[in-house]
Amino acid sequence: MKGTQYSARNPDAQGHIHYPPEEHQIWSELVARQQQHLPGRACDAYLDGLERLALPSDRIPQLAEVDRVLMECTGWQTAQVPALISFERFFELLASKRFPVATFIRSREEFDYLQEPDIFHEIFGHCPLLTNPAFAHFTHTYGKLGLAATPQQRVYLARLYWFTVEFGLVQSSEGLRIYGGGILSSPGETQYALSGQPKLQPMDPLEAMRTPYRIDIMQPVYFVLEQIDQLYELAQMDLMALVDQAMALGLREPLFPPKQQAS
């Protein structure tokens, strides 16, 4: 696991995390910028969750504020974690209905993009959907499967997570919409995802598990749900049997060039 320049901030004895004013300002600017791109692009379940969470726009929220809403809606809560955690810890948390949130925010120098998931990505990108029962159930199921899986199986499960929770699209009566938090926390990807440029495929978990991805580029392909409640159906499938099938079949050819190695 690679290192990170970031350190998560720890709560005080009362459970309150103190952020300096400049970090609250970064949160405020990130929220204001991304909210401009959500109308007509974010799915209704996400927008409903965002309204329920009522995230502050002028400061980084405390996790307890988010937890109160999530617990009421779906029985979930957040879990404060360091900047990077192991796969084992990640699956443990999801299996216990706790969504990991690294309590740091990106620097001004990485305002547009950073590889590590910061508190803006986790809270603004993912937590609104955790108020939705179908999304919450799928994420919980995924955590339980991942916890029991082998390291090799987890690699294939990770692709399913990538093409649903992180970079999923969904059909609606108004047209194609976004539910993936990796898209909804990125203004560039929010615009790109519905631009007609990327390839779109109906959600097929076996195909998703066999599709390579890179974290540092715009996605060349997205998988599309028929509706957000299709996540219930995915959670009821024998996903580990599909993992084994995907492992036997192997990966599809990547739709992107190989990453350039630094010389």
> Could you tell me which residues are annotated as the binding site for Fe cation?
121, 126, 166
Task: Give me the catalytic one of 23, 37, 92, 126.
Answer: 126
Could you list the beta-strand ranges (E) of the chain: 77-81, 98-102, 169-172, 175-178, 199-202, 221-225
Please write down the HEC assignment for all residues of 146-166. Answer: HHHCCHHHHHHHHHHHHHHHH
Q: Which two tokens stand for residue 56?
A: 């502050």
Q: Which two tokens stand for residue 111?
A: 């305002």
Residue positions forming the annotated binding site: 121, 126, 166
State the angle between helix axes of 63-74 and 133-148 in degrees (0 to 180), rounded to the nearest 10: 100
Q: Which two tokens stand for residue 200?
A: 């779109």
User: Is-catalytic flag, 226?
Assistant: no
Residue 218 backbone zone (phi > 0: left; psi -120 to 50: alpha; other: beta): beta
Residue 249, amino acid: L
User: Is-catalytic flag, 16?
Assistant: no
Torsion sign, CA atoms 234, 239, 245, 249: positive
Task: Give me the catalytic one of 140, 185, 189, 207.
Answer: 185
User: Is-catalytic flag, 121?
Assistant: yes
User: Is-catalytic flag, 166?
Assistant: yes
Task: Give me the catalytic one of 23, 92, 121, 186.
Answer: 121
DSSP-assigned states of every residue in 215-258: TTS--SEEEEESSTTHHHHHHHS-HHHHHHHHHHH-PPPPSSPP
Cα separation values, 143 from 8, 87, 95, 247, 250, Å:
23, 10, 4, 20, 23
The C-alpha atoms of residue 60 and residue 21 are separated, in whole angstroms, by 10
**Enzyme catalytic residues:** 121, 126, 166, 185
